[in-house]
């Protein structure tokens, strides 16, 4: 159950542990009254008298009611917890739209804990996860997609994901969605007007005009849905598995891509017994690189378990790099791996190109024609890695929508809503083409409009809000 909106909420907004500074936020109708009990500006002014959005130095004190009892220690009546910088942001010009007080004090857990306790004793309650942003949404400061983009900004794994999150936070996706929704509503209005005055036999809109309008809406929605594939990868990251028999250089390749020495590299076959995962940015795409156990025939139960996990990791992967040792002839293990992989998800990588060749690119291309190109690399000499990164990117970003103009849909909830809207519009289009009843067309268009409204939060339920804001941290 969610707390009342007229409560004053407070929370530590900085991560737990020691830090240079720690920030506490207070928000609500009575934020200033509550905070004034523990924050005493050095200038002698009251908190209410401070200029909005201007920082000032203040003593942070235990409130009069708790002085003497903080953590059971005997304290003087007006015990000073810390010296802090304080900023008052008067509503509606604040993040939540309410009166907000932010306190920057020293980032020690006890300082923050005592300040927080002081605020609670003064009448605030602890904020729930995402409650500040939820209030920003409810007060109309942010729409729902923008509120979600706040979380995306915090969670962005690469510079590219951050750029997309920021564009969504500025409302670019919301604007596009609202434009499409308004077209759907226009089409719906035409149909409903025709229904209302149907008896008078007035044609409110030419059929061809309606067909054209619905087609244009459908194309825009289609583009958004298609962008979702790549958008999702940019947001959540892709999984790229490195497969190959022992000793072909899987760990060396992982290290080369990580540019560090996370995995253990040894010349003894079969050392990587388990699945290792690392997050890297490959040309702006967050990628979980999975180094798997060498896949070969074995009687060793521990190694066999590693191989089983490798196969699982590979099945979950968006792309699998099949690594082969170019300094050796193709082995039976290589052949069986090549024949067991689905070509669409595979990039063939020929390693150890610094050594004399036993296996050529042409030979490999002839052997597995369905697998597309082959990339030559040397993991230890760091050769061919840019080409490999480029090939991985192209394989992940298949439609190329990501690099073109226009907004991207990155969030599963938005992708789902766009898909439902597209289905509604396509069904309406079909009904118009088949000269079916206007009521039927209207139902499908209403479904489409509502689905789009869910993205920005024009249409929403407590359930949706609960799901979205519970993912936030406390203090955001």
Q: Does 384 bind ligand GDP (CB under 6 A)?
A: no
Please state, as a whole number, how many other Cβ atoms lie within 10 Å of the Cβ of residue 362.
9
CB of 358 to ligand GDP, least distance (A): 13
Q: Does 296 bind ligand GDP (CB under 6 A)?
A: no
Please, which residue, 26 or 321, has the CB nearer to ligand GDP?
321
3-state secondary structure of 471: coil
Q: Does 410 bind ligand GDP (CB under 6 A)?
A: no
Q: Does 470 bind ligand GDP (CB under 6 A)?
A: no
Please, which residue, 244 or 475, has the CB nearer to ligand GDP?
244
For residue 120, what is the enclosing H or E element? helix 109-121
From the list 166-174, 240-248, 418-426, 430-438, the region that binds ligand GDP by CB under 6 A is 240-248
From the list 26-34, 211-219, 241-249, 306-314, the region that binds ligand GDP by CB under 6 A is 241-249
CB of 250 to ligand GDP, least distance (A): 3
Site for ligand GDP in 243-272 (CB under 6 A): 244, 246-252, 265-267, 272
Which of 226, 354, 365, 387 is in the footprint of ligand GDP by CB under 6 A? Answer: 354
Q: What is the CA radius of gyration of the chain?
A: 30
| Ordered DSSP codes for 1-39 | -PPPTTS-EEEE-SPSS-EEEEEEEEESTTHHHHHHTTE
From the list 155-163, 169-177, 379-387, 418-426, the region that binds ligand GDP by CB under 6 A is 379-387
Please, which residue, 250 or 420, has the CB nearer to ligand GDP?
250
Please, which residue, 112 or 349, has the CB nearer to ligand GDP?
349
For residue 450, what is the enclosing H or E element? helix 438-456
Which of 133, 174, 351, 429 is in the footprint of ligand GDP by CB under 6 A? Answer: 351
| Closest-approach residue to ligand GDP (CB) | 249
398, 228 contact by CB (below 8 A): no
Please, which residue, 265 or 330, has the CB nearer to ligand GDP?
265
Q: At what angle do helices 207-236 and 159-169 cross, to 10 degrees?
A: 140
442, 192 contact by CB (below 8 A): yes
Number of residues that bind ligand GDP (CB under 6 A): 21
Q: Report DSSP state, residue 408.
A: -
Please, which residue, 367 or 381, has the CB nearer to ligand GDP?
381
Tokens of 168: 């969504």
CB of 264 to ligand GDP, least distance (A): 8
Site string for ligand GDP, 45-84 (x = CB under 6 A): ----------------------------------------
- The rounded distance, in Å, linking the Cα atoms of 7 and 30 is 8
Which of 135, 157, 296, 352 is in the footprint of ligand GDP by CB under 6 A? Answer: 352
- The rounded distance, in Å, linking the Cα atoms of 136 and 100 is 12
* Residues whose CB falls within 8 Å of the CB of residue 164, separated by 6 or more in sequence, listed in order: 152, 231, 234, 235, 408, 410
The total number of residues written for the chain in this structure: 476
- The rounded distance, in Å, linking the Cα atoms of 279 and 238 is 10
- The rounded distance, in Å, linking the Cα atoms of 323 and 344 is 16
- The rounded distance, in Å, linking the Cα atoms of 425 and 217 is 8
CB of 396 to ligand GDP, least distance (A): 23
Which of 37, 104, 161, 378 is in the footprint of ligand GDP by CB under 6 A? Answer: 378
Which of 126, 185, 205, 355 is in the footprint of ligand GDP by CB under 6 A? Answer: 355
393, 282 contact by CB (below 8 A): yes
CB of 254 to ligand GDP, least distance (A): 8
3-state secondary structure of 376: strand
Tokens of 426: 């396509």
CB of 286 to ligand GDP, least distance (A): 23
CB of 261 to ligand GDP, least distance (A): 11
Please state, as a whole number, how many other Cβ atoms lie within 10 Å of the Cβ of residue 295.
24
Please, which residue, 205 or 381, has the CB nearer to ligand GDP?
381
- The rounded distance, in Å, linking the Cα atoms of 75 and 64 is 11
Please, which residue, 218 or 294, has the CB nearer to ligand GDP?
294
CB of 247 to ligand GDP, least distance (A): 4
- The rounded distance, in Å, linking the Cα atoms of 239 and 231 is 14
474, 151 contact by CB (below 8 A): no
Q: Does 380 bind ligand GDP (CB under 6 A)?
A: yes
Q: Does 157 bind ligand GDP (CB under 6 A)?
A: no
Please, which residue, 18 or 277, has the CB nearer to ligand GDP?
277
3-state secondary structure of 86: strand
Q: Report DSSP state, residue 84.
A: E
Q: What are phi and psi of 128, to 5 degrees?
A: -85, 165
From the list 50-58, 178-186, 374-382, 451-459, the region that binds ligand GDP by CB under 6 A is 374-382
Footprint of ligand GDP on this chain (CB under 6 A)? 244, 246-252, 265-267, 272, 294, 351-352, 354-355, 378-381
């Amino acid at each position: 159950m969610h707390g009342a909106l007229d409560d004053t909420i407070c929370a530590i907004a900085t991560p737990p542990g020691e830090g240079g500074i720690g920030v506490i936020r207070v928000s609500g109708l009575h934020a200033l009254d509550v905070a004034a009990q523990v924050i005493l500006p050095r200038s002698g002014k009251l908190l209410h008298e401070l200029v909005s959005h201007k920082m000032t130095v203040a003593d942070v004190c235990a409130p009069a009611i708790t002085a003497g009892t903080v953590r059971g220690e005997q304290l003087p009546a007006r015990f000073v917890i810390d010296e802090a910088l304080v900023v008052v942001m008067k509503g509606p010009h604040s993040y939540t739209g309410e009166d907000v007080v932010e306190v920057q004090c020293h980032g020690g857990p006890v300082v923050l804990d005592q300040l927080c306790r002081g605020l609670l004793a003064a009448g605030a309650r602890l904020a729930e996860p995402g409650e500040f942003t939820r209030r920003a949404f409810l007060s109309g400061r942010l729409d729902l997609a923008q509120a979600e983009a706040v979380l995306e900004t915090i969670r962005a794994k690469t510079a590219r994901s951050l750029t997309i999150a920021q564009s969504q936070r500025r409302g670019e996706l919301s604007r596009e969605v609202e434009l499409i929704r308004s077209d759907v509503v226009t089409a719906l209005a035409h149909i409903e007007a025709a229904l209302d005055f149907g008896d008078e036999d007035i044609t409110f809109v030419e059929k061809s005009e309606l067909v054209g309008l619905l087609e244009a809406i459908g194309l825009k929605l289609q583009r958004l849905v298609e962008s979702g594939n790549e958008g999702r990868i940019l947001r959540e990251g892709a999984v790229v598995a490195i497969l190959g028999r022992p000793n072909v250089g899987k760990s060396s390749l992982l290290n080369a891509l990580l540019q560090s020495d996370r995995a253990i590299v040894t010349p003894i076959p079969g050392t990587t017994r388990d699945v290792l995962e690392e997050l890297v940015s490959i040309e702006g795409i967050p990628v979980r690189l999975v180094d798997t156990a060498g896949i070969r025939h074995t009687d060793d139960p521990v190694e066999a378990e590693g191989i089983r996990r490798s196969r699982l990791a590979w099945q979950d992967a968006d792309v699998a790099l099949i690594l082969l040792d170019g300094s050796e002839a193709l082995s039976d293990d290589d052949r069986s791996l090549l024949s067991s992989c689905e070509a669409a998800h595979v990039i063939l990588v020929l390693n150890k190109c610094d050594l004399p060749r036993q296996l050529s690119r042409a030979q490999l291309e002839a052997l597995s024609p369905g697998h597309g190109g082959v990339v030559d690399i040397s993991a230890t000499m760091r050769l061919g890695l840019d080409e490999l990164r480029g090939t991985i990117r192209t394989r992940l970003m298949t439609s190329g929508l990501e690099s073109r103009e226009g907004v991207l849909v990155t969030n599963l909830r938005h992708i789902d809503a766009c898909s439902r809207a597209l289905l509604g519009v396509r069904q309406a289009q079909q009904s118009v083409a088949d000269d079916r009843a206007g009521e039927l067309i209207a139902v499908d268009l209403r479904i489409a409009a509502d689905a789009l409204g869910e993205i920005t939060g024009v249409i929403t339920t407590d359930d949706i809000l609960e799901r979205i804001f519970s993912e936030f941290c406390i203090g955001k």
